[in-house]
Structure 1
Amino acid sequence: MAKIGFFGASFDPITNSHLWTATKIAEEYNLSQVIMGPGSNKRPDKQMNISDAHRWNLLQLAISNDSLFVADDFEMKQDASAIYTYFTMEHYKQLYPLDQVYFIMGADLLVDIAKGEWLYGKELVENNLFLVMSRDGINMKEVISSSAFLQPYSEHFHLIEKGMNMEISSSYIRGELRKHPNARHLKHLMPCPCYDYIMEHGLYQF
């Protein structure tokens, strides 16, 4: 049985931090593959800054030379009413019935689930395993132990407390591009082909 991680995010744009984080987790938990799933512009709870097509192209450029990663636009193809993480995970478990599929997420999302802010959150937690990345200021063990909802499923959460402090935010990159459309230092915060693509298409520069 192989171990597969699903890493869903806006990737708006994808950064070296996304890639470093996913690779670190794969090494630590012996994942044979990490599925990179960009979120859809059709999601009512998330406002993207560029089109699905551009984010999809950037993702493919970022991972093209690394066999660990596979890009999957499953959520982008779904109707807005069906874009929920629970349904996404059910899809991948059906796609890989002989393997263990993990949901990779940050501790900030763990907090949101504990607050009951995710539709189908209960079903998601009951039926899946999670690899949770630490975030500054969030005590993941306390979030789980203090939640009547999460505590019974504490064994479903594998908490990654250390070595996850590489923080390059997509929002920082977007902000820099708005202020400095030709900011060359950003070339070192993302794969170079992604930087070149953003420059070529004038993305985020508004």
Structure 2
Amino acid sequence: MRNSGRPLLGIFGGTFDPIHYGHLRVAEEIGEMADLREVRVIPAGMPRLRADPVASLHHRVAMVHLATENNPRFKLDDREIRRHGISRTVDSLREIRQELDGVALCVITGADAFIKLAEWHSWRELFQLCHFIVAARPGHALTISRDDLPRELKDECAGRWVSSAEGLKQISSGLIFIAPTTLLDISATNIRARVAAGKSLRYLVPDAVLNYIATNHLYSGEL
């Protein structure tokens, strides 16, 4: 029987340049595992800690829509695309917390991004706004001892780890769960390189996204 505590809502952000099956499979499994009421898929507008996306805002939103529209658990949230300036997770979490009452927000992130959490804007405040569900990617697995974490982050995370997703339902924010998921070693960088080299994307991205990339000549250098 499911724990009857606080309902959980997933927050899954990224540049999604393009969105691919690696993203989608992790979000699907975590949504099921943690009994998430919904997974908000939030494309970043202007990311603060990485290079600007290759595809335009319009194209990235369109690809996320195509990839998620038939999954009732997923919901495209374009607030960071509509917001002017640098995209900051803390801003989106503040807004969503104001919009939704009684729901615990769970930021879904890869281990490689979580290790750099102390570089995020107002990163300590994030623990007051959300839980973290960390999906380890190939080559970036967090150890049981969390020795991979920088000292500042390791100290902040002490006492926040839970061994199951059910533990996240007990309080509104501040906990961390490492999710055992199927890790597909697919990267958007590799996908863009394959397009530029004229190679197939089949089975790396949904067919609707594959067709959109081809129709709009994305990543190929064509006009």
Question: TM > 0.5 between the two?
Answer: yes
Unaligned runs of 5+ in 1: none
Change (3 A) 1:144 1:137: closer
Q: How far 1:94 sits from its partner (Å)?
A: 1.6
2:217 paired residue among 196, 202, 206:
202
1:131 to 112, 130, 133: 133
- Structure 1 residues 5 and 44: CA distance shift in structure 2, 3 A: closer
Aligned to 1:142, the other structure's residue is in SS state coil
Report the equivalent of 2:64. Answer: 59
Aligned pair partner of 2:207 in 179, 182, 192: 192
Residue in 1 aligned with 2:122?
120
TM-superposed deviation, 1:57: 0.5
Q: Count residues in correspondence.
A: 198
The 3-state SS of whatever aligns with 2:53 is: coil
CA RMSD, Structure 1 to Structure 2 (Å):
1.8
Gaps of 5+ in 2: 1-5, 163-174
Deviations 1:28-61 (A, max 9, x none): 1011210000011x33433101100000011111
Q: TM-score, normalised by structure 1?
A: 0.88
Decide which of 187, 190, 202 is 1:169's aligned counterpart: 187
User: Structure 2 matches for 1:3-82, cutoff 5 A?
Assistant: 3-40=8-45, 42-46=46-50, 47-80=52-85
> How many angstroms does 1:63 deviate by?
1.1
CA distance in 2, matches of 1:166, 1:44: 26
Per the alignment, in what secondary structure is the counterpart of residue 188 of structure 1?
coil
Moved over 6 A (4+): none
2:171 aligned residue: none
Q: CA deviation at 1:148?
A: 2.0
Higher helix share: 1
C-alpha separation between the residues in 2 aligned to 1:20 and 1:107?
16
Distance across 2 between alignment mates of 1:54 and 1:63: 14
TM-score normalised by L of structure 2: 0.82
% identity of equivalent residues: 25
Give the secondary structure class of the aligned counterpart of 1:186: coil
Q: What is the SS of the residue equivalent to 2:80?
A: helix
